[in-house]
Amino acid sequence: MISIVNKYMTVEGSITKNLQGQSVFRDEIKAKIKQEYDAVMKAKNAVDFRNEAEKKTTKELEKQQKVLQT
């Protein structure tokens, strides 16, 4: 998330002041950051799911090998 935000920090005009005087990203930039973050998380979740499936498969194969050895 930090690397995504840092990328937009350098874009001229991406930051504005809100009513309280705080520096904030423009709404369009917030939407882009959220979109990129969601894409990264979706990819991460897919990798995590694949890794879990591989672990389960490995455990099943090990169980089958133990059964065959006995």
Tokens of 45: 């979740």
pLDDT for 8: 86
pLDDT in tens, the chain (70 residues): 888 898 888 888 899 999 999 999 999 999 999 999 999 999 999 999 999 999 999 999 999 998 888 7
* Dihedral angle, C-alpha 50, 53, 58, 59, nearest 10 °: 150
Number of domains present in the structure of the chain: 1
Which range marks the domain in which residue 39 is found? 2-69
pLDDT for 10: 86
pLDDT for 2: 86
